[in-house]
Amino acid sequence: MFEITLEHGATLGTMLLVAAAAVLLAGVFYWRAFGALRPGQWQTLFVLRVLAILIVVLLLFRPVVSYYRELEEKRAVVFLLDTSASMGIADGTSEVSRFEQARQQVAEWWAELRDDFDPHLVAFAERARPLEDVSQLAALAADGRATSLSRALVAAVKVTDPEGKPIPRKRIEAVILVSDGIHNSARDPRELAGRMGTVVYTVGVGASLRSDVSYRDIQLVGMECPERLMLNNMARITASVEAVALDGRVVQVLLKEDGQTIGEQELTLDGVEGGQQVTFEFRPTATGRHTYEVEVPTVAEEKIEENNARQAVALVVEPGIRVLYIEGTLRAEFGALADRFLAKDPDLEFCALVQTRPNHFLRRTNIEGLEMVAIPTDAETINTFDVFIIGDLDSSYLRPEVQRLIVQRIRAGAGLIMLGGYHSLGPGGYGGTPIGDILPVLLGDRQVGQVTDSFLPQLTPEGVRHPVFANIAPFFPTSAGGPEREGLPPLEGATRVEGAKPAASVLATCPLEGDMPVMAVQPVGRGRTAVFCGDTTRNWQQGPRAMGQESPFLQFWGQFVRWAAGRGTAVEAEAGVVASTDKGYYEPDEPIRISAVVRDERGEGTAGAAVVAQVRGPSGRSASVQLTAVPGPAGHYGGTFEPDSPGTYQILVEAKVDSKTVRSEEVAVEVGRPNLEFEKLDLDEERLAELAELAGGRYFHITTASRLIDELDRTQRKRRQYHQRPLFSPPWFWALFVGLLTTEWILRRRFQLR
Which pLDDT tens digit goes with each residue over 634-676?
888 999 999 888 888 999 999 998 888 999 888 888 887 777 7
Domain count, the chain: 5
144 CB-near residues (< 8 Å, 6+ apart): 83, 84, 85, 124, 125, 126, 677
More confident site: 233 or 330: 330
* Same domain (yes/no): 527, 592: no
* Same domain (yes/no): 498, 545: yes
**What is the Cα–Cα distance from 27 to 49, expressed in whole angstroms?**
9
ω into 365 cis (within 30 of 0)? no
210 occurs within a structural domain = no
* Same domain (yes/no): 393, 491: yes
Residue 84, CA distances (Å) to 79, 206, 276 in order: 15, 13, 28
Q: What is the pLDDT of residue 93?
A: 62
Sign of CA dihedral 628, 631, 636, 641: negative
**What is the Cα–Cα distance from 88 to 676, expressed in whole angstroms?**
14
* Same domain (yes/no): 386, 502: yes
b/e per residue, 508-531, with b = 16+ CB within 10 A?
bbbebbeebbbbbbbebeebbbbb
pLDDT tier for residue 433 given thresholds of 50, 70 and 90: very high
**pLDDT above 70 (res 335):** yes
- For 563, the enclosing helix (H) or strand (E) is helix 553-564
User: Helices marked H in 238-369 — which ranges?
Assistant: 332-337
In this prediction, residues 491-503 reach a mean pLDDT of: 94
**What is the Cα–Cα distance from 593 to 628, expressed in whole angstroms?**
12
Question: Shortest CA distance to 198 belongs to which of 691, 634, 574?
Answer: 691
118 occurs within a structural domain = yes
Q: What is the pLDDT of residue 684?
A: 93
- Whole-model pTM: value is 0.58
Question: Shortest CA distance to 364 belongs to which of 392, 406, 323, 416?
Answer: 323
pLDDT tier for residue 99 given thresholds of 50, 70 and 90: very high
* Same domain (yes/no): 277, 413: no
* Same domain (yes/no): 450, 515: yes
Q: Would you tell me the crossing angle of helices 685-694 and 149-156 to the nearest 10 degrees?
A: 30
**What is the Cα–Cα distance from 559 to 571, expressed in whole angstroms?**
6
**pLDDT above 90 (res 480):** no
* Same domain (yes/no): 243, 275: yes
Which domain, by its residues, includes 631? Answer: 576-671
Q: What is the CATH number of the domain that holds 378?
A: 3.40.50.880
* Same domain (yes/no): 633, 617: yes
Mean pLDDT of the chain: 87
Looking at this protein, which amino acid is placed at residue 438? I
Backbone angles phi, psi at 623, to 5 degrees: -140, 150
Q: What is the pLDDT of residue 352?
A: 95
Looking at this protein, which amino acid is placed at residue 200? V
Q: What is the pLDDT of residue 35?
A: 62
Contact 181, 687 (CB under 8 A): yes
Q: What is the CATH number of the domain that holds 643?
A: 2.60.40.10
> How many separate helices (H) and strands (E) can be counted in the chain?
15, 40
* Same domain (yes/no): 544, 628: no
Adjacent-strand bridge partners of 450: 495
Q: What is the pLDDT of residue 355?
A: 94
Q: What is the pLDDT of residue 543?
A: 62
In this prediction, residues 32-38 reach a mean pLDDT of: 66
Q: What is the pLDDT of residue 33?
A: 63
SS3 content of the chain, % helix, strand, coil (to 5): 25, 35, 40
212 occurs within a structural domain = no
Counting Cα atoms < 13 Å in the Cβ hemisphere of 649 gives: 31
Beta strands in 19-62 (DSSP E): none
**pLDDT above 80 (res 449):** yes
Q: Which residue, 564, 595, 628, sits at the end of a domain? A: 564
**pLDDT above 90 (res 457):** yes
Q: What is the DSSP letter of 590?
A: P
677 occurs within a structural domain = no
Q: Which residue, 505, 535, 564, sits at the end of a domain? A: 564
**What is the Cα–Cα distance from 149 to 127, expressed in whole angstroms?**
9
Contact 26, 718 (CB under 8 A): no
Sign of CA dihedral 111, 113, 114, 118: negative
φ/ψ region of 110 (left if φ > 0, alpha if ψ in -120 to 50, else beta) reads: alpha
**Mind listing the pLDDT tens digit for each residue in 191-213?**
999 888 899 999 999 887 766 67
- For 220, the enclosing helix (H) or strand (E) is strand 217-224
211 occurs within a structural domain = no
| CA angle (361 as vertex; 360, 365 as ends), nearest 5 | 160
Looking at this protein, which amino acid is placed at residue 324? L
Q: What is the pLDDT of residue 67?
A: 63
Contact 742, 90 (CB under 8 A): no
Q: Which residue, 299, 317, 335, sits at the end of a domain? A: 317
Counting Cα atoms < 13 Å in the Cβ hemisphere of 465 gives: 4
CB atoms near residue 364 (< 10 Å)? 16
* Same domain (yes/no): 544, 620: no
Q: What is the pLDDT of residue 549?
A: 65
* Same domain (yes/no): 540, 664: no
Q: What is the pLDDT of residue 545?
A: 61
749 CB-near residues (< 8 Å, 6+ apart): none
For the ranges 81-85, 533-537, 601-605, the lowest mean pLDDT is seen at: 601-605
466 occurs within a structural domain = yes
pLDDT tier for residue 109 given thresholds of 50, 70 and 90: very high
Beta strands in 407-497 (DSSP E): 415-419, 441-442, 450-451, 458-459, 493-495
81 occurs within a structural domain = yes
Strand 647-657 to strand 667-671: parallel, antiparallel, or no bridges (unpaired)?
antiparallel
**pLDDT above 60 (res 720):** no
Q: What is the pLDDT of residue 415?
A: 96
* Same domain (yes/no): 338, 452: yes
Q: What is the pLDDT of residue 72?
A: 62
569 occurs within a structural domain = no
